Amino acid sequence: MARFNPGAWRRSSNPHRSGLRPALYAGVGLACMLLAAHAQDATAVLRVCADPGNMPLSNDQGEGYENKIAQALARDLGRRIEFTFFPQRMGFVRNTLKQRDESTQQFKCDVIIGVPKGFELTATTRPYMRSTYALVFEARDEFAPLKAPEDLLTLPADRLRALRIGVFGRSPGADWLLRNELLDHAVFYAPQSGDPAESPAHTIEQDLVAGKIDMAIVWGPIAGFLVGQHAKSPAWRALPFKPDQTIKFDYEISMGVRFGEKEWKDTLDQWIGAHEREVQAILASYQVPLLDANGNLIASPRANTTHVMPIEKINDAFDLMHKGESIRSVALFE
């Protein structure tokens, strides 16, 4: 964008005599018009800060639930959407929400779709999601009795001692294992990978598939995503943790904006309040475990509700329906 340079006024000791005054006035007028046009353009764009590879939250293909929420927001505000991508690691806020573009001096983006309520680095809107950590695993026969994470403690002692449970360092999962004297069974993962292309979901999925771990305790949206990715037999299951008096499993998620931008924050608050059902539907489509205001589970990750299997496994089909892992089964005659 063309800029008016105030230093031009000092290039001639006498602008009147040099004949530059009309040209300078014209330059000022053009600059003002360009600035006004740029400001108008800024209001027509929703600039969103996002991670390019952190499914199910977001990616650079627009496939995450944060992408979908941002798209719905842009639609209702009558704006086109632009994403500023940066790995959600240390420095994310500094390099996105709080950084200006060198050429336009505009901030690179104006909203982070998902931050914890009360996040210290941004102002936060009213929450649009309350989720919780969950235990995720392949639905093997030995885990069939598990209906809640606490049921893990009822497994036979020899089986419990053999388990390898993946957890991220400094997470509620690690605290839960410590409280239940299972820390020796933990396989620890760094809270932040040094590889920006790596994501928590991919890390856990990779090791579960390879048999390096038997189960993992992860943030609920990740657990739901993995269940959705592994809906075919053997299906994966996820058991959400209930709110706990001593370990913080559940978190409310808000949008993050810059401090001091009250009008913009109010706009987002109003949108969230008016579109609660739409947002909940988006989250449910990603199998995100959701809690209500009282901490009760209102949506839980579910494996594929339809199972197709040969006739000789008809009893397995009845077992799946009895356990609530299937609402219908199709038996095939060879």
Looking at residue 163, which CATH number applies to its domain? Answer: 3.40.190.10
Mean pLDDT of 209-234: 96
Confidence of residue 14 (pLDDT cuts 50, 70, 90): very low
Confidence of residue 98 (pLDDT cuts 50, 70, 90): very high
pLDDT tens for each residue of 149-163: 999 999 999 999 999
Confidence of residue 331 (pLDDT cuts 50, 70, 90): low
* Mean pLDDT taken over the chain: 84
Q: Does 230 share its domain with 138?
A: yes
58 pLDDT more than 90: yes
Query: What is the model's pLDDT at position 19?
Result: 41
Q: Does 138 share its domain with 240?
A: yes
Encoding tokens for residue 128? 């649009």
Query: What is the model's pLDDT at position 70?
Result: 98
Q: Does 155 share its domain with 145?
A: yes
Residue 104 CB: number of other CB atoms within 10 A?
13
Mean pLDDT of 40-47: 75
Is residue 299 in some structural domain? no
Q: Does 202 share its domain with 137?
A: yes
Is residue 110 in some structural domain? yes
- Total of domains in the chain: 4
46 pLDDT more than 90: yes
Give the integer Cα–Cα distance in Å for 86 and 58. 11
Closest Cα partner for 32 from 12, 3, 57, 9? Answer: 3
* Domain of 320, in residue numbers: 304-334
SS3 track for 126-174: CCCEEEEEEEEEECCHHHCCCCCHHHHHHCCHHHHHHCCEEEECCCHHH
Non-local (6+) Cβ contacts of 7 within 8 A are: none
Q: Does 69 share its domain with 84?
A: yes
Q: Does 69 share its domain with 122?
A: yes
What secondary structure letter does DSSP report for 241?
P
> Exposed e or buried b for every residue in 107-143, given b needs 16+ CB within 10 A?
bbbbbbbbbebebeebbbbebbbbbbbbbbbbbeeeb
Q: Does 270 share its domain with 125?
A: yes
Confidence of residue 196 (pLDDT cuts 50, 70, 90): confident
